[in-house]
Structure 1
Amino acid sequence: MISTLHSRPGGADGDPAPRLAYGADYNPEQWPRDVWEEDVRLMREAGVNVVSVGIFSWARIQPAADQWDFGWLDEVMDLLHEGGIGVDLATATASPPPWLTTAHPEILPVTASGETLWPGARQHWRPTSPVFREHALRLVRAIASRYKDHPALVAWHVSNELGCHNVYDYSDDAARAFRGWLRARYGTLEALNHAWGTAFWSQRYSDWEQILPPRLAASHPNPTQQLDFKRFSSDALKDHLRAERDILREITPDVPVTTNFMVTPGTKGMNYADWAEEIDFVSNDHYVHPGPQDRDELSFSANLTSGIAGGRPWFLMEHSTSAVNWQPVNVAKRPGELARDSLLHVAHGADAVCFFQWRQSAAGAEKYHSAMVPHAGADSDLFRAVTGLGATLKTLAPVAGSEREPAKVGIVHDWESWWASEQDSHPTSLLDYRQEALDWYSALLRLGIRADLVTTRADLSRHQVLIAPVLHMVPADLAKDLTRYAEQGGHLITTYFSAVVDENDHVWLGGYPGALRDLLGLRIEEFGPLLAGDTVELDDATTGSVWTDRITVTDPQTQVLAHYRTGAQAGRPAVTRRETGGGSAAYVSTRLGVEGLTALLPRLLGPAGVESELPADIRGAVELTVRRGPDSRFLFLVNRTDSAVPVTGLAGEVLVGATAADGTLTLGPRDVAVLRQPTG
């Protein structure tokens, strides 16, 4: 459905589809009327062809319960259409207006400790509030009815970053909805009591009304209650998404609907793999977090967004042109990073590149957040970089509509394992699910090997190697699937604290990792987590941290690839691999970090015959991602370094990039090149 964006005229010159979409959140209500026409002129200069409008406009559109003001928005929509710019129109429900919270304070969220989250910021609403739902859907119907036939309308934008600040609400509304959700999940109190293990600590329930969200308690709340509340909270937001979407589809059945996910560090409350089927195309917001793996993480998140989208094109709804405003220190991007960051998303399947926001705010909480038009105005290096990117995206129009070409390696990302593995009262609080997955991804990047981030809902058999870091929660059906995968020729790699519990967070008994114990050919009686700062050495010269396991090999087919050389497990297996059928199953029992995994991975990938597709001299310096259309492959080559990198040995028409007289493709520092290869 993202192809709808490609069918509209592209920019002021009326270029036909296909094209890549380019734009930003546009907030004209922040500016006087005389700025609007200048905005459209500059958008055309920059190559902008789509903007998101109305995201935080509820108070302007509906200044009182019985008043509506669409005149300004009518004018904005008309101006954008005249400029050849499509509109991804928001439903404006993200931030309730003051008149609504004053009249109905019962819509405000409540924390686990009983504190009310008051107005003054944004997203101050309960996902389960029937009062909020009534007012929000009234607004959605009014906006959809007014603009259903407007020629600028290309897509609907439901709310904004659902759950960013209100994913967990512990109010009485939430308690009632939680009980309803539990009734639907379990059917009977007997089933719930079994799932929650309420025989422990005298928690057995005899009436549904006794059940509450996991509010502030004297000690660790029931683990399965916590897990179910996470599931419920994600579902409650998904239900709100559906409610808005259904009205939009009723009124405008031919206009695609999306909402912006936040596949980015620190956001884990929403199970986006579960949400993806509810919208017509996936959209994502991503912001770089400074650190040694910052661009690896960007690639990881873009890759995961593609996995959530099933490999189909998706929409980068927000990222930053330069500095953000909400990190402890907000560092500006260096020359070339605006384009590299943007094109890395395109490499992983984005058919739209958009920023927050078009014009940098002069007031408000985000006034120091960068934008396409900075405080310095159009006469600035930043706006020139924005305009340059617009020209590059126009050149890359043939890429639009192509899908990511599957890689031989898949890395499994599972939201419920993420939630469950990091709960309290566990062997360690130092475990970081996403970091472990990122370390494996970074190691593959260093080796120049493409990998796909996939969810457990995907067809796992399409990958020759499947890496499942900290796959903590493994229901019986998933255990069977993974066993079948290995027995039929796939090569599974998993890690510490995997396959330990079922879907109810009950431990698989008989020794860890219970659900995959026979497949791996090993047994663990007791975990050996490490104290902060402690490390252990392995006999393959790698170093482990965070975790160790006391492994006993139980199958003669299980090969020990590395032993612990130091620590409490000295002499015991640390890394194992068991052949089964035509495949294998390997286990890594400690956190090896990027360096250790880079050293280990060739041994684990060797049996599958997986090697880098890049020339040996640029592996690690260049990231390769491939998109495939009906008659072409598009090779994206991303320079991961701050130095120039010459590239030889790769054939194809150069769409983006510089070539020397001898035909050598040269990637400048932080540069991206794109090659087109004909197929079939």
Structure 2
Amino acid sequence: MPHLNDVTRGRLLYGGDYNPEQWPEETWHEDVRLMERAGVNTVTLGVFSWSRIEPAPGQRDFGWLDRLMDLMHEHGVGVVLATPTASPPPWMGHLHPDTLPRDADGRTEWWGGRQHFSHSSATYRRYAAAVTEDLAVRYAGHPALTLWHINNEYCTYDFGDEAAARFRDWLRHRHGTLDALNTAWGTAFWSQGYGDWAEVLPPRHAHYMKNPAQVLDFKRFTSDMLLECYTAERDIVRRHTPHLPVTTNFMPLWAGQDAWRWAEEEDVVSVDLYPDPRDPSGAQSGALVQDMTRSQARGPWMLMEQAAGPVNWRRVNHPKPRGLNRLWSLQAVARGADAVCYFQWRQSRQGAEKFHSGMVGHAGERGRTFQEVERLGADLARIAPHVSGSGVTADVAVLHDWHSWWAGDQEGRPSREVDYPGVLGAWHRALWQAGLTTDFAHPVHDLSGYRLVVVPQLYLLTDAALDNLLAYVRGGGTLVCGFLTGVADQDDRVRPGGMDARLRELFGIRTLHEWWPLEPGETAACEGGLRGTLWSEELEPDGTADETVAYRGGELDGLPAVLRKGRAWYVSTLPEPGALRALLARVAAGAGVRPVLDGLPDGVEAVRRGELLFLLHHGREPVTVDVPGTHRDLLTETTVTDRITLDRYGVAVLRP
């Protein structure tokens, strides 16, 4: 199977989405001049070009794309050729209204934006396959073509009639019979029992709360239907170019795709990443997405999109301060990226994204943005021979599962203040601040290679996942679980006792009496100065725990907030950031996990990739970092002995 290494060949890919159809052809030659100056070696073409390629049903206009492909090849720029199927032409919706999705209220999502297609529409799929086939036939042998990019940011839901029919088919395949469906969905509640498949619908607008098991299955169905769209186009291009890798771009931690399953269908795993430059946690949230994407890829991955400056879709869109774009780009490389790309090459002058930055901004080549892009290109060229294709090793795994997220994110839950991505981010941030490199893993993955496994929250756990966690601990691993874990089975059926009995025995819990969610700003005091936020639980221990940290004061006074039984820890609240960091650092040390580098100043991140040590300074004031021994800084081509000073947003890439 083709791999990203087949494209990089010792390089780091550098470039981004190129939309030259928005510009007169004389601009194209100016673009390639600037690409050469910036060190750009890859561009993505055709992402939103369907109406240009197929101006009317069945017609084809490839002349402009032929000239572009030739121009890129002449200047040594490889092409990631996209199928344009994320944004159908207006004629499709006009002639075939069945291709347009409908929301939960039955309203049609019209053309005029993007992603206005029904994943279940046979008509849409037929047109998408035809244009993909013609692209593959025409460019399969073109020397500029290096990689295929299918569609773009798959993110559509559809509650329409054709989707409803496909949903019923999907449910028949999953559950088999109506009796099994009624059991799985718990339809005895609220008189929801189904007597005919025709009665089964997507979870459209309802008078009150929707059936959570129905909603869960619909989210699973949506991910699967979008995946069908992807694999249909992937299989077409693979047939013509079996030697070229295929990808599509994930959005970071987006709820609509089971990215574990999707990643298995990709040759290259890629992601779009847009941390807010004003967010104090922006660097950590970026690291989380990078760690997750690397784990899905099981090796090097592709940063398909980022912003060179501001985006255009936040309430206030701030530019990146001087040096931040370089810092965050090199952070991605440190955490496994072999491609650093942007949306987009040249900033648009018209359309909905004209205020979204480009590598070449409205200020042109004299602008600060392009000057920083040019510097980054030189940095990547310096380090590429030493880093491309190498891996990142982690002793810690953070468990994450989309199905658990989907199930827990229901209307009738104990606290709507509990936000799964927020809890996941808090635990990853604590590990990141402690200097511990982490992988992500699915709860049924082989965990035996990790010294420490962390479960911030997995509300839904299958029997296979539970057995896997128990086997991991029995095999000598250290496990730390956060609150509201192991509550429900695969159909969102609450397990007897409110937590699976196997987990209760593992942690030394006799009874989980009640969940005690906390109000915003409310805290729960505990022994040792620990304070919990967001959540607490009324736990009765069974007397087998080796260590407990008790709540102090209030209704839960004296009851355990934290329990340890052997190598298994349970944390029934969300400790404040400093306390969570200290707790996880202590547990990690006990499991034999050490930070990448001891004694790091605040705001400095250290990551090892292969033989290289990346030091990334996320602060604005210079700091000095102790790095025992003698190293070569590949970015400055200087020798470093025992210590190095990093300036504002400074980066060092040290080779022993």
Alignment TM class, shorter chain as reference: over 0.9
1:326 partner SS: coil
Moved more, 592-601 or 109-118: 592-601
Question: 2: CA distance between counterparts of 1:394 and 1:479?
Answer: 46
Whether 1:450 and 2:437 are equivalent positions in the alignment is: yes
Question: 1: CA distance between counterparts of 2:362 and 2:415?
Answer: 46
Report the equivalent of 1:543: 531
Are 1:421 and 1:470, in contact at CA under 8 Å, matched by a contact in 2?
Answer: no
Give a deviation string over 1:512-531, Cα, whole Å, max 9, x none. Answer: 35451111111312111112
1:496 partner SS: coil
Q: Residue type matched to 2:471 in 1? A: R
Whether 1:553 and 2:527 are equivalent positions in the alignment is: no
Report the equivalent of 1:18: 10
Matches within 5 A, 1:563-582: 563-579=550-566
Are 2:80 and 2:147, in contact at CA under 8 Å, matched by a contact in 1?
Answer: yes
**Cα offset, 1:254, TM superposition:** 1.2
Question: 1: CA distance between counterparts of 2:309 and 2:624?
Answer: 27
Report the equivalent of 1:9: none
Q: Out of 633, 638, 641, which is 2:616 matched to? A: 638
| TM-score computed with the length of structure 1 as normaliser | 0.93
Cα separation, partners in 2 of 1:439 and 1:89, compared to 1, 3 Å: same
Are 1:660 and 1:666, in contact at CA under 8 Å, matched by a contact in 2?
Answer: no
Give a deviation string over 1:564-587, Cα, whole Å, max 9, x none. Answer: 1133212211011111xxxx1101
Moved more, 276-285 or 562-571: 562-571
Report the equivalent of 2:316: 329
Q: Out of 160, 169, 189, which is 1:180 matched to? A: 169
Are 2:104 and 2:159, in contact at CA under 8 Å, matched by a contact in 1?
Answer: yes
Give a deviation string over 1:410-443, Cα, whole Å, max 9, x none. Answer: 1111111111112110111111111112111211
Give a deviation string over 1:132-155, Cα, whole Å, max 9, x none. Answer: 001111110111111111100001
Matches within 5 A, 1:308-387: 308-310=296-298, 312-387=299-374
2:159 partner SS: coil
Report the equivalent of 2:655: 676
Cα separation, partners in 2 of 1:513 and 1:568, compared to 1, 3 Å: farther
The number of residues matched between the two structures is 651
Whether 1:493 and 2:480 are equivalent positions in the alignment is: yes
Report the equivalent of 1:14: none
Report the equivalent of 2:70: 78
1:649 partner SS: strand
Report the equivalent of 2:42: 50
Report the equivalent of 2:581: 598
| TM-score computed with the length of structure 2 as normaliser | 0.97
Matches within 5 A, 1:178-577: 178-264=167-253, 267-289=254-276, 290-310=278-298, 312-522=299-509, 523-560=511-548, 562-577=549-564
1:648 partner SS: strand
Q: Out of 613, 633, 640, which is 1:654 matched to? A: 633
Matches within 5 A, 1:149-168: 149-163=141-155, 166=156, 168=157
Matches within 5 A, 1:105-120: 105-120=97-112
Q: Residue type matched to 1:627 in 2? A: R
Q: Out of 569, 592, 598, which is 1:586 matched to? A: 569
Are 1:137 and 1:244, in contact at CA under 8 Å, matched by a contact in 2?
Answer: yes
2:87 partner SS: coil
Moved more, 243-252 or 510-519: 510-519
**Cα offset, 1:451, TM superposition:** 2.0
Question: 2: CA distance between counterparts of 1:460 and 1:567?
Answer: 38
Are 1:576 and 1:588, in contact at CA under 8 Å, matched by a contact in 2?
Answer: yes
Are 2:633 and 2:639, in contact at CA under 8 Å, matched by a contact in 1?
Answer: no
Q: Residue type matched to 1:625 in 2? A: V
Question: 2: CA distance between counterparts of 1:655 and 1:475?
Answer: 47
Give a deviation string over 1:611-646, Cα, whole Å, max 9, x none. Answer: 323132x15432122222xxxx12211112222222
Q: Out of 625, 645, 655, which is 1:666 matched to? A: 645
Are 2:146 and 2:244, in contact at CA under 8 Å, matched by a contact in 1?
Answer: yes
Q: Residue type matched to 1:437 in 2? A: L
Question: 1: CA distance between counterparts of 2:226 and 2:380?
Answer: 34
1:396 partner SS: helix
**Cα offset, 1:304, TM superposition:** 0.7
Are 1:409 and 1:466, in contact at CA under 8 Å, matched by a contact in 2?
Answer: yes
1:410 partner SS: strand
1:586 partner SS: strand
Are 1:659 and 1:665, in contact at CA under 8 Å, matched by a contact in 2?
Answer: no
- Structure 1's unaligned 5+ residue stretches are 7-16
Give a deviation string over 1:167-221, Cα, whole Å, max 9, x none. Answer: x210011101111111111111222111111111111212211110011111111
Question: 2: CA distance between counterparts of 1:171 and 1:558?
Answer: 55
Question: 1: CA distance between counterparts of 2:93 and 2:654?
Answer: 54
**Cα offset, 1:457, TM superposition:** 4.8
**Cα offset, 1:660, TM superposition:** 7.7
Question: 1: CA distance between counterparts of 2:385 and 2:582?
Answer: 38
Q: Residue type matched to 1:293 in 2? A: S
- Structure 2's unaligned 5+ residue stretches are none
Question: 2: CA distance between counterparts of 1:107 and 1:352?
Answer: 34
Are 1:615 and 1:649, in contact at CA under 8 Å, matched by a contact in 2?
Answer: no
Are 2:18 and 2:345, in contact at CA under 8 Å, matched by a contact in 1?
Answer: yes
Q: Residue type matched to 1:48 in 2? A: V
Question: 1: CA distance between counterparts of 2:388 and 2:537?
Answer: 46
Are 1:448 and 1:619, in contact at CA under 8 Å, matched by a contact in 2?
Answer: no
Give a deviation string over 1:64-97, Cα, whole Å, max 9, x none. Answer: 0132111101001100100000000001111010
**Cα offset, 1:659, TM superposition:** 5.5
Are 2:154 and 2:226, in contact at CA under 8 Å, matched by a contact in 1?
Answer: yes
1:101 partner SS: helix
Question: 1: CA distance between counterparts of 2:554 and 2:17?
Answer: 53
Whether 1:87 and 2:79 are equivalent positions in the alignment is: yes
Cα separation, partners in 2 of 1:650 and 1:412, compared to 1, 3 Å: farther
**Cα offset, 1:350, TM superposition:** 0.7
Are 1:513 and 1:524, in contact at CA under 8 Å, matched by a contact in 2?
Answer: no
**Cα offset, 1:658, TM superposition:** 7.4
**Cα offset, 1:40, TM superposition:** 0.6
Give a deviation string over 1:294-342, Cα, whole Å, max 9, x none. Answer: 11101111111111112x1111110000100000110010111011111
Moved more, 114-123 or 604-613: 604-613
2:586 partner SS: helix
Give a deviation string over 1:461-514, Cα, whole Å, max 9, x none. Answer: 211111101111111111111011111111100011100011111111034354
Question: 1: CA distance between counterparts of 2:182 and 2:284?
Answer: 43
Question: 2: CA distance between counterparts of 1:318 and 1:53?
Answer: 13
